[in-house]
């Protein structure tokens, strides 16, 4: 009897060792395939590796030659100042309205807790996928074609960007919650709204707050460039100065954009510190 147990134990150890060896082999094959694909991509796209490592000096010199020193007086342009305010408004409206849409959307798009797996779930997932599948600048171009140039197209673009980004992450947070409180609420006779209000929301509140802050960061960066395609914000002056070859003003516009992003980062960091 003891010999049989020993043999079984020995067979088990051999099987574990064999599986471990195969895992290592597969890992090495995966790394080799990754390196091969990386090298093939450089070759297929005709990117000379030697130039890739030596181009940064000429790029830096050209950047210095074109955009520096910036036209500091351009900051006094009243239209530029109004566009800065408009950029904040685009990001704010896009983020707030998008997050309001995302709250029920994330609930409906969570497969484990959606009130309707055959209607609300596929529709909600389709909205999130559609918002994410088309790049934001393409949305902005489409909206400006339909609605004309202006902040309305930019606001709608920011809303869709927020829905696509935050909706997916919020839904995943709902799918990862503990089901104990949900089952207790249902056992006590609670309806679906009670489940959301007392079972889902308390568990995802902190995670959703973090997602919301990061969504503001992402949407604000998007808002700074939407004007380049005519959708409002400071990006319109980036395009205007480039097209008129006023590169010193372009440099000043880029400095303003960098400054705005830094301010946004500080606001986000403060909000994240307060919430966490």
Q: Which of 112, 137, 80, 272 is nearest to 195 (CA)?
A: 112
Model confidence at 234, pLDDT cuts 50, 70, 90, reads confident
Report how far residue 9's alpha carbon sits from residue 15's, in angstroms, rounded to the nearest whole number: 10
CATH fourth-level superfamily of 73-275: MetI-like (1.10.3720.10)
Residue 165's nearest CA partner among 215, 207, 118 is: 215
220: tokens are 């604000």
pLDDT at 201: 81
* Model confidence band, residue 18 (pLDDT cutoffs 50, 70, 90): low
Total-model pTM: 0.76
Q: Is the pLDDT of residue 118 over 50?
A: yes
Q: Are 164 and 101 in contact (CB under 8 A)?
A: no
Q: What percent of the chain has pLDDT over 90?
A: 6
Model confidence pLDDT, tens digit, residues 29-80: 889 999 999 888 888 887 777 777 777 777 777 777 777 777 777 777 777 7
Interatomic CA distance for residues 136 and 142, integer angstroms:
10
| Residue 2: pLDDT over 50 | no
Give the integer Cα–Cα distance in Å for 9 and 118: 49
Q: What is the DSSP string of the chain?
A: -HHHHHHHHHHHHHHHHHHHHHHHHHHHHHHHHHHHHHHHHHHHTT--HHHHHHSHHHHHHHHHHHH-S--GGGGG-HHHHHHHHHHHHHHHHHHHHHHHHHHHHHHHT-TTT-S-TTTHHHHHHHHHHHHHHS-HHHHHHHHHHHH-SSHHHHHHHHHHHHHHHHHHHHHHHHHTS-SHHHHHHHHTT--HHHIIIIIIHHHHHHHHHHHHHHHHHHHHHHHHHHGGGTSSSTHHHHHHHHHTT-HHHHHHHHHHHHHHHHHHHHHHHHHHHHH-
Among 15-19, 95-99, 202-206, which range has the highest average pLDDT? 95-99
pLDDT at 230: 78
* Average pLDDT, integer, range 154-161: 90
How large is the average pLDDT for residues 179-196? 78
pLDDT for res 6: 46
Mean pLDDT of the 89-101 span: 90
Q: What is the pLDDT of residue 16?
A: 67
Average pLDDT in the chain: 81
- The rounded distance, in Å, linking the Cα atoms of 106 and 120 is 11
Q: Report d(CA 262, CA 86) in Å as an integer.
A: 17
Sign of CA dihedral 175, 104, 142, 227: negative
Residue ranges of domains in the chain: 2-54, 73-275
Contact present, 122 and 110 (Cβ < 8 Å): no
Predicted local confidence at residue 7, as pLDDT: 44
Residue 10: the pLDDT is: 60
- Calculate the alpha carbon distances from 204 to 67, 103, 120 in Å: 46, 11, 20
Looking at residue 5, what is its pLDDT? Answer: 45
């Amino acid at each position: 009897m003891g010999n049989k147990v020993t043999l079984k134990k020995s067979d088990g150890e051999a099987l574990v060792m064999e599986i471990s060896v195969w895992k290592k082999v597969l890992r090495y094959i995966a790394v080799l395939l990754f390196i091969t694909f990386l090298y093939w991509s450089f070759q297929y796209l005709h990117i000379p590796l030697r130039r890739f490592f030596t181009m940064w000096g000429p790029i830096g010199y050209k950047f210095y030659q074109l955009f520096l020193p910036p036209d500091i007086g351009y900051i006094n342009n009243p239209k530029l100042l109004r566009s800065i305010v408009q950029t904040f408004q685009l990001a704010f409206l896009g983020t707030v309205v998008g997050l309001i849409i995302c709250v029920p959307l994330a609930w409906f798009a969570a497969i484990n807790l959606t009130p309707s797996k055959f209607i609300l779930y596929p529709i909600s997932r389709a909205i999130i996928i559609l918002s994410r599948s088309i790049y934001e600048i393409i949305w902005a171009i489409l909206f400006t074609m339909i609605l004309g140039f202006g902040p309305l197209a930019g606001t709608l673009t920011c809303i869709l960007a927020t829905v696509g980004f935050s909706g997916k992450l919020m839904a995943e947070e709902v799918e990862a919650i503990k089901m104990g409180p949900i089952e207790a609420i249902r056992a006590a006779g609670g309806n679906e709204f009670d489940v959301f209000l007392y079972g889902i929301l308390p568990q995802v509140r902190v995670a959703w707050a973090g997602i919301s802050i990061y969504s503001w960061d992402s949407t604000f960066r998007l808002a700074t460039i939407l004007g380049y395609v005519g959708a409002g914000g400071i990006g319109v002056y980036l395009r205007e100065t480039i097209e008129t070859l006023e590169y010193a003003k372009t440099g000043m516009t880029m400095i303003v954009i960098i400054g705005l992003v830094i301010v946004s980062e500080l606001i986000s960091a403060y909000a994240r510190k307060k919430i966490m």
